[in-house]
Amino acid sequence: MFSVQPLNIPLANHDEVYLYVQTLPLAEELLSTLYSVLNKEEQQRAARYHFERDKKRFIAARGLLRYILSAYLNKAAEDIVFQYGPQGKPYVVDTALQFNVSHSDDRILIGIGHHHPLGVDVEHITRTVEIEDIATRFFTAKEAQQINALSGDAQRRAFFNVWTRKEALLKAIGSGLSLSLQACEVSVGDEALSTVLACNAPSFDRHDWQVHSRVLTDDYLAAAVVQSDLKVRWCGCRGTKGSFQEA
C-alpha cells in the first residue's frame, strides 16, 4: 500500500482526461516532500539548475507527476520507474496510464488519461516574443496570414492559441521535434473546443482528435489534445498546499 498522499488528487475515469494545473510557488514543506520522492538522477538534475526558481519548478513538476501517478497506480511515488520513448517522452511500464507534462514560469500542467495518448502545453503569453517573425517562419502560411493581420492583444492571443495547440498536438502523436510546426494546422481563434485542421503525420486522421484550450489567467494559456471520444476535466490548484479541485 502506498504512503499517505500529501495532496488532494481527483482521479479520471476511463473515458476521461484530467488536466491538473498547479500554480507556483509551493509551500516549502510540500516542495521538500516532493523532492524526497525523486530518484537520484532526478535530484542530480535538479541540482544542475543555475537558478533556484528553475530548480524548484523542476522539483514541483516531477514530484507532482509522481504523486498523481501514485494515486492512480496505488503505488508509492518514489517507487515509480520512468522509461523514455524515442523522442524522450516518459512513460511507466506495465500500465495503461497516459500522461504528459508542460510548465512555463509559475504554471505547471499535467495531463492524465487511460489507454489513449495525449499532449499538453502551457505558455506564459506576456513574455517578449517576435510574434510576426516566428509565425511567418514556423507556422503555416494560412496561420501566419491570420495572425499577422491582427494587432495588440488579439494578435498575441492568436499566436499563442496556435503555439500551444501545435505543441500539444505534436506531443500527443509522439512526434516531438521530428515533425515541424508547419506540418500541422490548427485554429487561431479563442474557442475552448476545436479540431485539428490538418496534420501531415503518418496514419493521422484529424477526426480522431480534439483540441481543448483554456485561458488560465490573463498571463497564461493552456491547451490539450486528446482523443475525440474522451471527456476533459480541468483541475485547478492555485494555493501552495497542492489540493486540486475541478474547475
Q: Cβ-count burial of 244 within 10 angstroms (0-12 exposed, 13-18 middle, 19+ buried)?
A: buried
64, part of any domain: no
31, part of any domain: no
pLDDT per residue of the chain (247 residues) written in tens, 0 to 9: 334 466 789 999 999 999 999 999 999 999 999 999 999 999 999 999 999 999 999 999 999 999 999 999 999 999 999 998 877 788 998 999 999 999 999 999 999 999 999 999 999 999 999 999 999 999 999 999 999 999 999 999 999 999 999 999 999 998 765 688 999 999 999 999 999 999 999 889 999 999 999 999 999 999 999 999 999 999 987 666 667 877 7
Q: In the chain, how many domains are there?
A: 1
pTM: 0.94
- Distance of alpha carbon 162 from alpha carbon 131, whole angstroms: 11
Q: Which three cell numbers stand for residue 202?
A: 503518418
Q: The domain containing residue 219 runs over which residues?
A: 117-229
Cross-strand partners of 111: 19, 100
* DSSP secondary structure letters along 20-41: EEEESPPPHHHHHHHHHTS-HH
Q: Which residue has the cell 513574455?
A: 127
Enumerate residues 6+ apart whose C-beta is below 8 A from 169.
Answer: 119, 184, 186, 196, 199, 209, 211, 225
7, part of any domain: no
- Distance of alpha carbon 195 from alpha carbon 134, whole angstroms: 23
